[in-house]
Structure 1
């Protein structure tokens, strides 16, 4: 804050709507278009990297109806559908003169007033995100109009001295760019390290559970335990207070190898009509968007029973639940499981086939010794799992802290004095 005060040196700050610091843009006239264009649709801009990824080549003969907005270098495009996702980027040389979807608001800076990156950093700010949340409309398909985006006000320092104003903007942009670059480098390093750790962990886990050495018997799941299918409930049944449940979709989007807490609850009135996984059961997703999602398993180690959806199964057995779940994460098990998935619009697990898949049972003739060996292996794998997957410790937590640190300093550097509102 002291730096910002020194930079401004008491200079006036005027808050102007984006519409007042940007230029009008134009749409393509397809009937006059003679060449092919790269089309930037709503999925082209990556939410995380803020960069354009895959685009398609279009001509007048096959252009989608939404392919309308011509963009130039240093234009900022902001997705106005599902705007809280913060899907935006600056147009670089590669896409100058190409076409963007009408799902984007195009912000072209009046360079004598505002730098393109000055607008970029404000669009990335907490204030802008809050503004979007307050001004979007629609629940199923939330959106914000271009006009509303352009109503958002940003500060212009020294409005009466454009040269000094742009110098101040440039200095803050320089610092924020440095923060962005440093954060990106640190995040990339940590992400690469995390990827390497996960690969190392997966290799070690798979080797440990292959039982190339040691006394083990491979038994079919149907011989070890039984599969209990859940009962149906819908999104309309979800409630903040009620019965704890595991929804099949959450198994591959929210859960790791084991869990003792749930992410969802349903209405208490459904209690008698549902089926439950007991503590120690392994809950398995029966359907999924991809073949890998189908059959994803999570060991339920909570203290109480938990309701399960009818597109999932509780595998009830007498083994260590974490051991069974870890086995179900191995590449060998996933390969075998994939043979028992019916593929179509919905990928579905065939339990009659999964029952025949073998898993290792160490010291199968000695239950006590078997459970002790399972527990020993689980203790080793738990340490690896905590290091690689937990958001509260290890590298994922470090990545999250780096990103929060950057956001904190960015918002601090953009903490310009707000105009005083005089009440009548």
Structure 2
């Protein structure tokens, strides 16, 4: 933990000179851009030197090639897309793609690379703008960013503190994430165990055999500006609403008009929704009457044979097997016939109810633990950002925004 009195003592009376990053006489760095590197290029020139792009996974690395464009200490940033303005500290031999920019400090006796990295981690995102609907942070904007430059020793002390705090925060978040994964695996193990039956122990049936109604939605995805179709008060469920719902769908982002309903079909509350395109084999139960597109299967349970809750737990357990049956295309999909031919285990109604009761309780417990761990991870990240900002809280006196 960083003590506030130590921070005050560290920063008290410190003279800070403000300079632009790469503009005018007081610029402190040079800016460069990466180059286009296709997937084919990466495969044909495979080697030992990393190539970094716009993604945040694996520290931005998308592959390795047999040559490199840069060697030494640098900072890079993402110029385009959802991660525009994300900043990375780089060392060694590497290359970057055309959606990345690179910063080379002119005088490392004046400005520390990691100090600049921490400052830009706060400041760069503030300069992201929308270019034709696509977030961007191009070189001409980065060049204007102003940098507070205290004495090098102060920069080094700030870096020492933030490096240690970063390591501690990363370690704590890694431990919490591992605990989160462990709880999820534990839940999946017991769920699959409850839904595993010996041969001859239960009846195996198709979904159509245990349904009052089973089929694809009739709605088609249309342009969002189709005023005839949208804008009424009839919920229109999309695949994202199903994917994001914890068992019961209670929220939606689109509505149909009466005209839209005439082109579609209204499914009743309690219908199990199953996605068959894009994010395949995602399931959730309608918490209200709604329409949904033909990329979703509707299952209305025959209460004398099963329940939507039991079938949803079954399909969740079989999810990886179902996804392996998807056809290769731009958007993965499973056709209706795959679900129609799928044989699933159906014990007695009493046993199904017992299984659902156990899984409901276990799911509620797991969800509670998950929410707690996610909240703790978020708090740790905010705590880190709070102390980072304190250490870099220099007053911009006389500096134009």
TM-score, normalised with respect to structure 2? 0.81
Please name the residue that 1:227 is paired with.
214
Note closer, same or farther for the CA distance 1:13–1:199 as it changes in structure 2 (3 Å cut): same
What corresponds to 1:138 in structure 2? 132
Please say if 1:180 is aligned against 2:188: no
Aligned residue among 288, 296, 306 for 2:290: 306
Per the TM alignment, residue 180 of structure 1 is displaced from its structure 2 partner at its CA by 1.0
Aligned position for 1:79: 78
Structure 2 residue 282 is the aligned partner of structure 1 residue 273: no
Q: In the alignment, what sits opposite 1:322?
A: 309
Distance 1:274-1:4 versus aligned 2 partners, 3 A rule: farther
- What residue number does 1:31 align with? none
User: In structure 1, the residue corresponding to 2:131 is in which secondary structure?
Assistant: coil
Change (3 A) 1:116 1:37: same
The superposition leaves residues 52-111 of structure 1 with CA deviations (integer Å, 9 ceiling, x where unpaired) of: 53423267xxxxxxxxx9323220010111264544322222x2xx33223222111231
- In 2, the alpha carbon distance for the partners of 1:412 and 1:173 equals 13
Q: Distance in 2 between matches of 1:375 and 1:200?
A: 17
Once residues 115 and 146 of structure 2 are traced to their aligned partners in structure 1, the CA distance between those partners, rounded to angstroms, is 12
User: How much does 1:352 deviate?
Assistant: 2.3
The alpha-carbon deviation at position 11 of structure 1 amounts to: 2.8
Deviation, structure 1 residue 242:
5.2
Query: What is the RMSD of the two structures over their aligned residues, measured on CA atoms?
Result: 3.3
Q: Which residue of 2 aligns with 1:123?
A: 120
Aligned pair in 2 of structure 1 residues 381, 357: CA closer, same or farther (>3 Å)?
Answer: farther
Whether contact under 8 Å (2:81, 2:135) holds in the other structure is yes
Equivalent residue for 1:40? 51
Determine which of 375, 400, 405 is the counterpart of 2:383: 405
Q: Is the Cα–Cα contact under 8 Å of residues 17 and 153 in structure 1 kept in the other structure?
A: yes
Stretch deviating more after TM superposition (226-235 or 192-201): 226-235
| TM-score w.r.t. length of structure 1 | 0.77
> Structure 2 stretches of 5 or more lacking a match?
36-45
Shift of 1:416: 1.3
Q: 1:85 to 1:204 in 2, by over 3 A?
A: farther
The verdict on how the C-alpha distance between 1:377 and 1:213 changes in structure 2, with shifts beyond 3 A counting, is farther
The answer for the alignment partner of 1:151 in structure 2 is 144
Going from structure 1 to structure 2, the CA distance change for 1:175 and 1:195 (only over 3 Å counts) comes to same
- Provide the rounded CA distance (Å) in 2 between the counterparts of 1:243 and 1:71: 56
The reply to whether residue 112 of structure 1 matches residue 109 of structure 2 is yes
Superposition deviation, residue 227 in structure 1 = 2.1
Contact persistence 2:270–2:300 (CA under 8 A): yes
Report whether the alignment pairs 1:53 with 2:64.
no
- Identify which of 23, 26, 31 aligns with 2:30: 23
Q: Describe the SS at the equivalent of 1:72.
A: strand
Q: Is the alpha carbon distance of 1:371 and 1:205 closer, same or farther for their aligned partners in structure 2, counting shifts above 3 Å?
A: closer
Give the CA deviation at 1:371. Answer: 6.0
Deviation at 1:261, TM superposition (A): 2.1
Counterpart-to-counterpart distance in 2, 1:185 and 1:417: 32
Aligned to 1:382: 363
- Measure, in 2, the Cα distance between the counterparts of 1:58 and 1:199: 39
The answer (yes or no) to whether the contact 2:34–2:96 under 8 Å persists in 1 is no
How many residues were matched structurally?
Answer: 374
Question: C-alpha distance in 1, partners of 2:362/2:199?
Answer: 18
Unaligned runs of 5+ in 1: 29-34, 60-68, 158-164
Q: Is the 8 A contact 1:78 1:104 kept in 2?
A: yes
Q: Please state how far the C-alpha of 1:166 moved relative to its aligned partner.
A: 0.8
Structure 1 residues 330, 408: CA separation in 2 closer, same or farther (over 3 Å shift)?
A: same
